[in-house]
Homo-oligomer: A and B are copies of this chain.
Amino acid sequence: MSGSTFGELFRVTNFGESHGPAIGCVIDGCPPGLPLSEADIQPDLDRRRPGTSRHVTQRNEADAVEILSGVYQGQTTGTPICLLIRNTDQRSKDYGNIAQSFRPGHADYTYWHKYGLRDPRGGGRSSARLTAPTVAAGAVAKKWLAAQYGTRIRGCMTAIGDIAIGQDDWSQVGQNPFFAATADAAKLAELEAFMDTLRRAGDSIGARLYVEASGVPVGLGAPLFDKLDADIAYAMMGINAVKGVEIGDGFESARQRGSEHGDELTPQGFLSNHAGGVLGGISTGQDVRVHMAIKPTSSIRVPRQSIDVNGDPATVETFGRHDPCVGIRATPIAEAMLALVLIDHALRHRAQCGDVRVATPDIAHR
């Protein structure tokens, strides 16, 4: 692989830069006959879109997706689907000062050394903006998975910095600017206040996310190396700024005994889900459960020591429009990534083993 293609059978090839004319992706391998239009994709893009609250970047992008190929008379034809999103609000002048020096914690330094040159406009290829085509492709995958198996994927923010967020009400995720699955008004107020203070300080903050899939067929994955959980880890760690990934109980598993961790079974289903829906790299039919950690944005106003392209000392302060917490808009991205892993493994399974077996609710206790 040359790096910009995700998946083996439902292949998503991503292209574009933050301030180039357009970004997008090509999906190759989508099953034919899936009803599809831009209206199926736009809602997830809108969830990820910048400018929706004061806590995210103020860049103003419609992120309107256009289907260029692979759909005829409202159905996928089985041929590549090109999804195009035009960039409309580039302000390259904002980034002029960073072209010559490296932001601490940013890809500036590594791109420069890898390629010998870099597109500094809006972070170029390293911008989180490049997750938009992934979200678009994920929407196609979600639709197929839902139609085929009833699979449902959802995610939420579980912490911003030291502020943990409960999961008491999933219906609230779309009702607040933080993708918080809580109806706890005091918590939301605390988050608002914290983010306002942070923004005034010109600093940024890390976050934790949770994403899960229910209605996953049993049998998706492979013994090694393409385990379902390995591919999920690859997918999530591939999201900008992610620094840690857990499946099921994750790091807590390191403290558990086998008699506690192993999920017992009864004829009515599993009695627990420490495994997070994967055993031996293959789905159990239980909910797939994933946690991840997202580092704070590296583009901050706080002055920092660095060097320039000549190796001389430089002080870097990043103005321009940045998310103070990139974790906030990452929930739809993580959902999309999970969808892309699942559809790819569903197709791989169908290739080798024929039609998948959908776990019945009574055996797939969560």
Contact = CB atoms under 8 A, between A and B. Distances in A.
A353 B206 contact: no
A284 to B, nearest CB: 6
Contacts of A234: 225, 230-231, 233-234, 237
A5 to B, nearest CB: 7
Given A114-B349, A222-B4, A106 B262 contact: yes
Contacts of A26: 4, 13, 15, 26
A137 to B, nearest CB: 11
Given A114-B353, A243-B249, A266-B305, 10 more contacts: A4-B226, A17-B69, A79-B124, A110-B221, A198-B257, A230-B238, A233-B236, A244-B253, A254-B294, A347-B351
A78 B251 contact: no
A339 to B, nearest CB: 14
A259 interface: yes
14 contacts: A2-B11, A13-B13, A75-B117, A107-B223, A116-B353, A159-B255, A198-B257, A203-B257, A233-B236, A243-B253, A251-B293, A252-B293, A266-B307, A355-B355
A32 interface: yes
A6 interface: yes
A23 interface: yes
Q: Which of A161, A223, A302 has the most CB of B within 10 A?
A: A223
A29 interface: yes
Interface in A79-138: 79-82, 102-111, 113-119, 121, 124-126, 130
A214 interface: no
A262 B327 CA distance: 16
B77 A125 contact: yes
Contacts of A235: 225, 230
Given A253-B296, A275-B105, A115 B32 contact: yes
Contacts of A264: 104, 304-306
A244 B250 contact: yes
B6 A1 contact: no
A55 interface: no
A186 interface: no
A11 B5 contact: yes
A14 B78 contact: no
A296 B275 CA distance: 11
B222 A259 contact: no
Contacts of A204: 257-259
A14 B281 CA distance: 15
A29 B8 contact: no
A69 B305 contact: no
Interface string A146-178: 000000000000010110000000000000000
Contacts of A118: 72, 77
A247 interface: yes
B243 A247 contact: yes
Contacts of A162: 255
Given A77-B124, A266-B313, A261 B206 contact: yes
